[in-house]
Every structure is written in C-alpha cells, then in structure tokens.
Amino acid sequence: MYTLYWAPNSAALAPQICLEEAGRPYELVAVDLAAARDPDYLKLNPGGKVPTLVTDDKQIVTESAAICLLLADRCKHAALLPPSGDPELGSALQWLVFLTNTLQPAILRFYYPERHTTDPSGTQAVIDSAMNDVATLWGRVDRHLAAHGPYFLGERFSAPDAFAFMLSNWQQSCPGIADRFPDVARCAAAVRARPAVRGILAVNELTA
C-alpha cells in the first residue's frame, strides 16, 4: 500500500486526487505543519513539507508535481497523462510544469512574503506584487480553458486539472477568482464533481 504524508487542502491534494483517480490503495498520515519539525519526518522529506509519497516498494518521492508524474507512469490505466507519442502529451506536461513552476511560486510569495525580502517593512510590497502576478497567471490559464476547456485537454481529464483545482482553492491570493476567471471556475467545478474527488472534499476541509 502507498502512504501519502499529507495535510488538508495543502500541496498534497493533487497527488491525493491522482491516487483516487487511479484507484490505488493508500493511507494518509497527517503532518502538522505548524508544529516543530519531526526528525523522523525530516528523514523522509528534508524540506519538512508535504506531500511525501512512500510507495509499496519503499520508494520515497517528494514534490507534488513529481508525485503526480510518478502516479501517471505507474497507473497508466487511469490516463492521468496522455501516453508516450500522444500529440497532447506535450501540452499536458507544459501546463503541469507551468502550474508548479510559475503559478504556485507566485501564490506562495503571497502567503510567505517574509521569505522574499530582508526588509521587515517590505512584506506588503511582496504581497501586492504576488497578487498582481497570480491574477496575470490565472488569466493565462483562463484564456486557455476558454478556448480548449472544460479541462486543459478539452473533454479529457488529466493531472494538470487536479493540480489547477488544488491551486484554485488557495483563494486569498486571488480574491474573486470564480468571478474574474469563469473558465478556471468551470474547470474547478468539473474536477470537484468527479466521483474520485467528491469523496475526499470533506477530509480536505472543502465544501462539496
């Protein structure tokens, strides 16, 4: 059985959705991110963050997008990514990397501005800049989904949809996201309605 080290509505949500979509048995182990870092957990994930996945063959994988990629490779029946040679594979990988490398860091700048300035009085400027960047980046996603949605690959659900759904729930960084970006909201609603996702909304402290 797989083990997902996790916290509600955190960066572990996208891998959890992928596990559910794949029908892969797994157990959740809660990690208290506000508490002092557990030395035993740091042995698994030196960054002290979630998620961490331990596979049934004891492979340890950290980073949310990396876990999604691993699950797509190991659970091909779930079609979390198009197969090798599929013309849509490049688009799916592009969007997954965009979400984890570009949009997520902008969101995290909003939540952790003190990490991006040495001036205690400079955090508000970091927050303001982050909010502008987050809105710009969601706009790029929204335009793509407006032209190609409801999912990133049209009618075809894939890992980027799980990742975008995860990020769309971190709404303080982009107030009014549903009204400002209706096609992002449409994609999020489609993911939320999937049977594999409905069953994990409550444990992630999200409304159905």
CA gap 95, 142 in Å, rounded: 12
Closest CA to 141 of 108, 174, 164: 164
Helices (H), the chain: 13-22, 39-44, 64-74, 89-98, 104-111, 123-148, 159-168, 177-180, 182-192, 195-198
pLDDT tens digits for range 78-135: 999 999 999 999 999 999 999 999 999 999 999 999 999 998 889 999 999 999 999 9
In one letter, which amino acid is 161? D
Q: What is the pLDDT of residue 33?
A: 81
Closest CA to 22 of 55, 68, 65: 68
- Sorted by sequence, the CB contacts under 8 Å of residue 64 that are 6+ apart come out as 11, 12, 14, 15, 51, 100, 163, 166
CA angle, 173 then 143 then 165, to 5°: 45
Q: What is the pLDDT of residue 76?
A: 97
CA distances from 148 to 23, 71, 125, 188 (A): 27, 25, 35, 14
Token readout for 136 is 């710009």
Which residue ranges of the chain lie beneath pLDDT 70?
36, 208
Query: Taking the CA of residue 134 as centre, how many other CA atoms within 13 Å lie in the half-sphere pointing to its CB?
Result: 26
pTM of the model: 0.96
Q: What is the pLDDT of residue 111?
A: 96
Pairs from 29-32 (Cβ < 8 Å, separation ≥ 24): 29/3, 29/4, 29/5, 30/6, 31/5, 31/6, 31/7, 32/7
Q: Given CA atoms 153, 158, 164, 165 in this order, what sign does their dihedral have?
A: positive
